[in-house]
Structure 1
Amino acid sequence: METSVRKLFDRYESVFNRSLGGDIDMDEIASLYASDFIAASPAGIMTGKNDDQLKQVMAQGYAHYRDIGTKEMWIRDVRVYPIDELHCVAHVAWTATYAREDQPDIAIDFDVHYLIQELDGEPKVFGWVSGDEQALLRKHGII
C-alpha cells in the first residue's frame, strides 16, 4: 500500500502545480478522491461528494491560491501508517511558495493528514485533517 499511496501523492503534487499554472483538469483532480469524503480543520468539519460541486469548489480554490500568489506546492515527505489492509493515514509534509509584491518569495511548511482507502489497487483520498491555513497565511503576511 505504501508504494501506491506515494504514487497517489506524486500525482496529487503534479496536478496541484499544473492547476496553479492554469492547466486545470477537473476530472483528473476528482480522480484523486473517493466518492465521498470528510474534512476537518479549525474551521469545522465538512462532508462532501465527489461531484460537480466538488469540481466547482476546487476550481475556485485554485483561483484563490493563484490570487494570493501561490507559485508552487511541493511535498517534502510522506509517511504512511496502515490502519488495515485497505486503509491508511498518510501524513504529508508540504512546502508552499508564495510570490509577494516588492518582497522575496516566501516558502511556508505545513502538514496535512489524509485518510486513504485502496480498493482494486487504486488509492483514493476519503478525508483529510489540516491545521489553520488562514492563520498561517496571515502570520506570514500572505493574506
Structure 2
Amino acid sequence: METSVRKFFERYASLFNQSLGGNMDMDEVASLYASDFIAASPAGVMSGKNDDQLKQAMVQGYARYRAMGTKEMRIRNVGVSPIDEHHCVANVAWTAIYARKGQPDIAIDFDVHYFVQTLDGEPKVFGWVSGDEQALLRKHGII
C-alpha cells in the first residue's frame, strides 16, 4: 500500500502543478478523489461530492493560487499510516513556492493529512485535515 500511495501523491503533485500552469484537466484531477469526501481545518468541517460543483471549485481554487503567485507545489515527504488493508492516512509534507513582485520567491512548508482508500489497486482521497492556510499565507505576506 505504501508504494502505491507514494506514487499516487507524485501524480497528485504533478496534476496540481499542471493546473497551476493553466493546463487543467479537471476530470483527471477529480479522479484523485472518492465519490464523497470530508475536509477539516480550523475554518470548520465540510463534506462534498465528487461532481461538477467540485470541479468548478477546483478551477476557482487554482485561479486563486495563480493570482497569489503560487508557482509550484513540491512534496518533501509522504508518510503512510495504515488503518486496515484498504485505508490509510497519508501525512504529506508540502513546500509551496510563491513569486512575489520585486522580491525573491518564497518557500512555505506545510502539512496535510489525507485519508486514502485503495480499492482494486487504485488509491483515492476521501478526506483531509489541514492547518490554517489563510493564517500561514498572511504570516508570510502572500495575502
Normalised TM-score (structure 1): 0.99
Alpha-carbon distance in structure 2 between the residues aligned to 1:61 and 1:53: 12
**Structural mapping, 1:98-137, within 5 Å:** 98-137=98-137
**Are 2:19 and 1:4 equivalent residues in the alignment?**
no
Which residue identity lines up with residue 142 of structure 1 in the other structure? I
Name the SS for the 1:136 alignment partner.
helix
Tell me the matched-pair count.
Answer: 143
Q: Which residue of 2 aligns with 1:68?
A: 68
Deviations 1:85-109 (A, max 9, x none): 0000000000000000111100000
Spell out, residue by residue over 1:20-57, the C-alpha distance to the aligned partner (whole angstroms, 9 max, x if none). 00000000100000000000000100000000000000
Alignment of 1:88-103 (within 5 A): 88-103=88-103
CA distance in 2, matches of 1:22, 1:50: 21
Residue in 2 that maps onto 1:54: 54
Identity within the alignment, %:
81
Give 1:141's aligned residue.
141
Query: Residue 7 of structure 1: CA displacement?
Result: 1.0
Residue 107 of structure 1: SS of its match in structure 2?
strand
Q: Secondary structure at the match of 1:85?
A: coil
C-alpha separation between the residues in 2 aligned to 1:91 and 1:101?
32
Is 1:31 paired with 2:31?
Answer: yes
Q: CA deviation at 1:81?
A: 0.3
SS of the residue corresponding to residue 78 of structure 1 reads strand
Gaps of 5+ in 2: none
Gaps of 5+ in 1: none
Instruction: Compute the displacement of 1:74 (Å).
Output: 0.3
| CA deviation vs aligned residue, 1:62-82 (integer Å, no higher than 9, x gap) | 000000000000000000000
Distance, in Å, in 2 between the alignment partners of 1:11 and 1:34 is 16
Measured on the aligned residues, the alpha-carbon RMSD in Å equals 0.3
Work out the CA distance in 2 between the residues paired with 1:99 and 1:121.
38
